[in-house]
């Protein structure tokens, strides 16, 4: 049954019997036989095929089996990894997703400690914006993700683990540095922003809206480093994590404005809802909490 389910997943994802056969290294007749066995076992139609079988349509029942199949395969793989060594040596692969701010400025130092503690556990790290990382958790492409920004709670188990301070960063010799000012003075400025889907972009939009700040212009960059460099080179100002600005402030490349209010957001780790985390995932969470407490 497991082989049949793996075949069905491949057919759904490739929407082509030949490509599915190539992807999982079996013959095309075997693919057809596996699908037939599944349809007989579940007594339902999973796929609708054209007469020449050049196009495939996934039925509602097929979509349900596809989602459940991914969960079953992941559960089996996690169980196999947990049983690999009876002496409780942690082995296997842990797939970690992270949004850019976390992946670039918080995760590397932590992973340095984590890999020393669990050298037999292989890590695969994916760094993308919050929206894309959440999609990878949903599609079982990562086991755990560390994200900023709003996450739909209906799909995930969400646990905050870090309070991130957001700061208004400006060029080093900006005229608002070292003086009292109101946030209204931040209007009619060029703002440097991350792309849509980024947690940092989401918070910037909220900040501007809440304070009724009307930007003169918005320039979008796809990474925190590019945003910081744009500010350093006098292209505009931004609202960004203090993790990003720390080194640049010390090197007198940019300045941080003194605001009357403190602006913070939560970093959270998210898991697919209804899934039992692997041993490696649980160890990762425990050590992450300890790392943040001692940071």
CATH of residue 116? 3.40.190.10
Task: Examine the fold and report which residue of 44, 74, 104 is the final residue of a domain before the chain moves on.
Answer: 74
Q: Is residue 79 part of a domain?
A: no
Q: How confident is the model at residue 116 (pLDDT cuts 50, 70, 90)?
A: very high
In the chain, what percentage of residues exceed pLDDT 70? 96
Question: What gap in Å lies between CA 15 and CA 31, rounded to an integer?
Answer: 12
Does 234 share its domain with 98? no
Residue 240's domain comprises: 164-264
Q: Is residue 18 part of a domain?
A: yes
Q: Is residue 229 part of a domain?
A: yes
- The answer to whether the beta carbons of residues 101 and 244 sit under 8 Å apart is yes
What backbone phi and psi angles, to 5 degrees, belong to 268? -130, 150
Does 134 share its domain with 270? yes
Does 178 share its domain with 212? yes
- The answer to whether the beta carbons of residues 64 and 8 sit under 8 Å apart is no
pTM above threshold 0.85: no
CATH of residue 8? 1.10.10.10
Task: Examine the fold and report which residue of 12, 39, 74 is the final residue of a domain before the chain moves on.
Answer: 74
Does 216 share its domain with 276? no
Q: Is residue 276 part of a domain?
A: yes
Rounded (5°) CA angle 78-40-68 = 30
Does 168 share its domain with 96? no
Query: How many beta carbons lie within 10 A of that of residue 283, not counting itself?
Result: 17
Question: What gap in Å lies between CA 39 and CA 44, rounded to an integer?
Answer: 5
Q: How confident is the model at residue 288 (pLDDT cuts 50, 70, 90)?
A: very high
Q: Give per-residue pLDDT as tens, 190-220.
A: 999 999 988 899 999 999 998 889 888 999 9
Task: Examine the fold and report which residue of 26, 41, 74 is the final residue of a domain before the chain moves on.
Answer: 74
Burial of 51 (0-12, 13-18, 19+ CB in 10 A): exposed
Q: Looking at the 3D structure of the chain, how many domains does it have?
A: 3
β partners of residue 126 = 97
Does 134 share its domain with 192? no
The torsion defined by the Cα of 273, 203, 282 and 6, in degrees rounded to 10, comes to: 50
Q: Give per-residue pLDDT as tens, 261-274.
A: 889 999 999 999 88
Radius of gyration of the chain (CA): 24
What backbone phi and psi angles, to 5 degrees, belong to 71? -65, -45
Q: Is residue 246 part of a domain?
A: yes
Question: What gap in Å lies between CA 42 and CA 15, rounded to an integer?
Answer: 20
């Amino acid at each position: 049954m497991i082989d049949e389910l793996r075949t069905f997943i491949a057919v759904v994802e490739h929407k082509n019997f030949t490509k599915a056969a190539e992807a999982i290294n079996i013959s095309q007749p075997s693919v057809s036989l596996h699908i037939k066995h599944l349809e007989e076992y579940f007594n339902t139609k999973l796929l609708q095929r054209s007469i020449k079988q050049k196009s495939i349509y996934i039925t509602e029942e097929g979509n349900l089996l596809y989602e459940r199949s991914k969960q079953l395969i992941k559960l089996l793989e996690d169980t196999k990894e947990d049983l690999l060594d009876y002496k409780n040596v942690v082995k296997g692969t842990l797939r970690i997703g992270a949004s850019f701010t976390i992946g670039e400025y918080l995760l590397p130092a932590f992973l340095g400690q984590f890999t020393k503690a669990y050298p037999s556990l292989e890590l695969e790290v994916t760094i993308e914006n919050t929206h894309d990382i959440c999609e990878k958790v949903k599609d079982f492409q990562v086991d755990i993700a560390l994200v900023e920004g709003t996450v739909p709670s209906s799909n995930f188990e969400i646990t905050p683990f870090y309070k991130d301070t957001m700061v208004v960063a400006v060029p080093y010799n900006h005229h608002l540095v070292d003086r009292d000012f109101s946030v209204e003075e931040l209007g009619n400025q060029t703002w440097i922003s991350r792309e849509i889907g980024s947690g940092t972009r989401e918070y910037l939009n909220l900040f501007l809206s809440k304070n009724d700040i009307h930007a003169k212009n918005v320039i979008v960059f796809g990474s925190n480093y590019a945003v910081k460099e744009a500010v350093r080179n006098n292209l505009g100002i931004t609202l960004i994590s203090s993790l990003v600005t720390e080194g640049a402030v010390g090197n007198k490349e940019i300045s941080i404005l003194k605001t009357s209010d403190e602006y913070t957001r939560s970093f959270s780790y998210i898991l697919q809802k209804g899934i039992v985390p692997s041993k490696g995932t649980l160890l990762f969470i425990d050590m992450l909490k300890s790392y943040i407490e001692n940071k």
